[in-house]
Amino acid sequence: MTFTETGLSGLVLIELEPVSDERGSFARTFDSAEWEARKMPSAVVQCSLSRNRRKGTLRGMHYQAEPHSETKLVRCSRGAVYDVAVDLRPGSPTFRLWFGEELSEANGRMLHIPAGFAHGFLTLADESEVVYQMADAYVATSARGVRFDDPAFAIEWPAVPLVISDRDRAYPDFVS
């Protein structure tokens, strides 16, 4: 795996290094020793799968409030998504800045999203799947969100979202 800093503190783009032969390929997607060497949380307490039927489906921007904020490792196992993380940590030098990257079955990229970031994605293909590994458990009472089109962040999505849940559409403007 190769680890690339994104410019937002703690947000890391990870690329697989597959070994290929006539059978196909093999690649590690997680190694706790590598995470620990980079001072990234290495515990995995929960894994989730998001299946999305239609291209243009937007999920996000979600996060958990303290004291239950989540660290996530996100990858697209089928199809393609434009994955976005927004720094919501008030003391951070990159507070309110965002980073977006295409994650796909083809490119194998993953995004390590630290606690204190909002996360969301827009599907770029029908039948896209996103796999999450979380270092922290989901706590429903701490679930929060910010709008995908909030002017406080000015996220540049690659396409107009076609499918959005009522909950995600109704998040209020972000107030710092």
Distance (Å, whole) CA 28 – CA 36: 16
Angle at 13 (CA atoms; ends 11, 17), nearest 5 degrees: 150
pLDDT of residue 173: 87
The pair of structure tokens assigned to 119 is: 């996360």
Read off the DSSP letter of residue 140. G
**Which residues are catalytically annotated?**
62, 132
The candidate with the shortest Cα–Cα distance to 130, out of 155, 149, 111, is 111
pLDDT of residue 172: 87
The candidate with the shortest Cα–Cα distance to 120, out of 148, 78, 89, is 148
- 145 touches 62 (CB < 8 A): yes
Per-residue pLDDT in tens (0 to 9) along the chain, 176 residues: 999 999 999 999 999 999 999 999 999 999 999 999 999 989 999 999 999 999 999 999 999 999 999 999 999 999 999 999 999 999 999 999 999 999 999 999 999 999 999 999 999 999 999 999 999 999 999 999 999 999 999 999 999 999 999 999 999 889 87
> What are the backbone dihedrals phi and psi of residue 59, each rounded to the nearest 5 degrees, phi first?
-125, 125
Residue that is written with structure tokens 């660290």 in the block:
71
Distance (Å, whole) CA 52 – CA 78: 10
pLDDT of residue 107: 96
Mind listing the domains of the chain with CATH numbers? 2-17+31-169 (2.60.120.10)
